[in-house]
Structure 1
Amino acid sequence: MERSPRLSILVATWNCAAQLDQFLTSLLAQSWTDWECVLLDNASTDGTAELVAAFQRSLADGPQRLLWSSQPDQGIYDAWNRGLRLARGRYVSFIGADDAFLDLFSLEHIAALTVMEADLITARNAYHAPDGRLLRHWGFGWQWKRMRQSMNIAHPGMLIRRELFEVAGAFDPSFRICGDYEWFLRLPADLRTVHSSDSILKVVQAGVSHTRIAQVYLETFRAQRRHLSPVVSAACWALNWLKFARRRLIGLA
């Protein structure tokens, strides 16, 4: 019987072959190899299939597995749910197709923490502007009180124990941007968590979660109303807009 990997990396793609090439190159260069990568493609037509086939051939004799599933989907959370059904790892990690590991040992640094059998393993990421400027290294450890206000953990690259999805369920695909935040609000406050101060990924702030701010806050408020009291969700709504105004003032948004 084939051994299951320790980590399943789930990547949603759609007509981004050039960016995916960079991500897969950084993944295959990692020193740590106990992983599988599940590519969840939205019926791309830009040569993604040929690119993936080439990488699969390069892994033919190695311990890693690169799985490609291509079919029309209803957004990133629909794709991630498909990936969860395919994943075999003890932990899962969601990474953007346009992200890349910072160095050869990034995955090894965070994967080493799986020996602690935590539910969530968080770290930081290096966030860059589309023109290449480094904006900040960001990402906090799990704190339920802070999570109620807004997403304060760096979701790309963090490791989630797969059994948590059996407890909390799959992502809600009716969300377009903040379905991961809504999912985290379902989790209990007393999770076993570990945080690393290392930055794992280079993340370019060009995706919808960084450019469609109004929709981000609307979906955040929708998730908060679903899981928090009316008073708490309203207070969080006001605080989030104040925080956004401050970030705009200092050039981080």
Structure 2
Amino acid sequence: MKNQLKPLITIITVCYNAALTLEQTIRSVIYQTYDNIEYIIIDGGSDDGTQGIISKYDDNIAYWISEPDDGIYDAMNKGLSAGNGDYYYFLGADDVLIDSCIIERIITENSFNNCFDVIYGKVVYDNNKMFISSLGLKSLVLNTLHHQSALYSKSFFNNFKYDQKYKVIADYELTLRVFTGKYSCLKIDELIAMCSSGGISSTSNDIVNYIDAYKIRASYVNNVINIILLIIGVANSVYKNKMQCKCINIKTIL
């Protein structure tokens, strides 16, 4: 039976050869003051000592497995299948929860109740840049709901699994589902996690990501609008790259 006062929060970390960073991620979860957390780790068959680190905290981990997978979203789907929580949260193997009380604050200090499908806030990167998640028209162009800033209700995943053919932005479909669907959302003024600035999305090709976003959007908007959004996205990527080149040139001159 669902505990209305203390919902079970399932936190999922997927990893592969994450021995350098995983321990701090684990510690940020298991030392939370909130006492109704189910922690799941899905390892892709690491060969760098990652399993040894996980085993060290075996008593604090509800479920973990180490086996080859078909990429990050396959591993995330495995985590969803293994979980029992009322809400699900994904924490990268090189990310940490912002402090030991953050989950408790989300539950107790933000008018939280189990009627919300999505609860979202902010994250900060290790280069001090902040990502403030939002939902709006911009969500149709790119992902405005950072994965590490959001908790999703269990019911949200009843008819959803990550599409493994998208290697980098399959989680963008979650944002589209939230924005275009009739879901109840709670935006909170909380910094939830510190994230690595060197994640998979930061090293991927922007143009390829916008094309993948176009394919994902096909189920949510009509084709004319989708083409316009693709053009906007690609133009934004080109402009951003030009501005980065200008900054590099200026620094070189100085």
TM-score, normalisation: structure 1: 0.85
Task: Output the CA distance in 2 between the equivalents of 1:185 and 1:101.
Answer: 25
Q: Which residue in 2 is equivalent to 1:45?
A: 47
Question: Partners in 1 of 2:24 and 2:146 — Cα distance?
Answer: 20
Verify: 1:205 aligned to 2:197, yes or no: yes
Q: Does 1:18 align with 2:14?
A: no
Partners of 1:9 and 1:96 lie apart in 2 by 10
Contact 2:16–2:45 (8 Å) recurs in 1: yes
Structure 2: distance between partners of 1:220 and 1:234 = 11
Is the Cα contact below 8 Å between 1:181 and 1:220 reproduced in 2? Answer: yes
SS in 1 for 2:20: helix
Report the CA distance between 1:169 and its aligned residue.
2.1
Give 1:217's aligned residue. 210
**Partners of 2:64 and 2:29 in 1: CA distance:** 15
Q: Secondary structure at the match of 1:179?
A: coil
**Equivalent residue runs for 1:61-100 within 5 Å:** 65-100=61-96
The Cα RMSD (Å) is 2.4
Aligned residue identity for 2:171: D
1:104 aligns with 100
State the one-letter code of the partner of 1:151.
N
Residue 140 in 1 paired to residue 124 in 2? Answer: no
List gaps (5 residues or longer) in structure 2: 248-254
Task: Please say if residues 117 and 184 of structure 2, whose CA atoms lie closer than 8 Å, have aligned partners that are also in contact.
Answer: yes
Q: Give the Å deviation of 1:46.
A: 1.3
| Alpha-carbon spacing, 1:105–1:246, altered in 2? closer, same or farther (3 Å) | farther
Counterpart among 209, 212, 232 of residue 225 in structure 2: 232
Q: Is the 8 A contact 1:125 1:202 kept in 2?
A: yes
Cα distance in 2 for partners of 1:66, 1:222 equals 36
Match of 1:125 in 2: 123
Equivalence for 1:189: 181
Aligned-partner Cα distance in 2 for 1:240–1:37: 36
Give a deviation string over 1:30-50, Cα, whole Å, max 9, x none: 222311111011011111221
For residue 216 of structure 1, what is the amino acid of its counterpart? N
What is the aligned-residue identity percentage? 23
> Who wins on radius of gyration, i.e. which is larger?
2
Letter in 2 for 1:53: S
TM-score by length of 2: 0.84
Aligned partners of 2:145 and 2:175 also within 8 Å: no
In structure 1, give the amino acid aligned to 2:165. S
Query: 1:13 touches 1:97 (CA, 8 Å); kept in 2?
Result: yes
Asked if 1:171 is matched to 2:173, the reply is: no
- For the 8 Å contact 1:95–1:157, the answer to whether it is kept is no
Kindly provide the amino acid, as one letter, of the partner of residue 140 in structure 1: S
**Structure 1 pair 18/5, CA: closer, same or farther in 2 (3 Å)?**
farther
Structure 2 Cα separation of the partners of residues 101 and 28 of structure 1: 10
Distance, in Å, in 1 between the alignment partners of 2:218 and 2:14 is 28
* Structure 2 letter corresponding to 1:86: A
Structure 2 CA distance for aligned equivalents of residues 208 and 221 of structure 1: 19
Counting matched residue pairs gives 238
Are the equivalent residues in 2 in contact too, given 1:141–1:194 (CA < 8 A)?
Answer: no
Distance across 1 between alignment mates of 2:160 and 2:181: 17
- Superposed CA offset, 1:59-83 (max 9, x none): 3xxxxx4311121111111111111
Alpha-carbon deviation of 1:109? 2.5
Show CA shifts across 1:166-200 (max 9, x none).
Answer: 1x321111110111112432454321100112111
* Between 19-28 and 185-194, the greater mean CA deviation after superposition: 185-194
Give the AA of the match of 1:38: I
SS of equivalent to 1:185:
helix
Which residue, 147, 158, 161 being the options, matches 2:153? Answer: 161
Provide the C-alpha distance between the structure 2 equivalents of 1:86 and 1:67, rounded to a whole number of angstroms.
8
Which amino acid in 2 is paired with 1:103?
D
Report the equivalent of 1:243. Answer: 236
Deviation per residue, 1:61-113 (Å, 9 max, x gap): xxxx4311121111111111111111000001111110012222222222334
Q: Which amino acid aligns with 1:214?
A: I
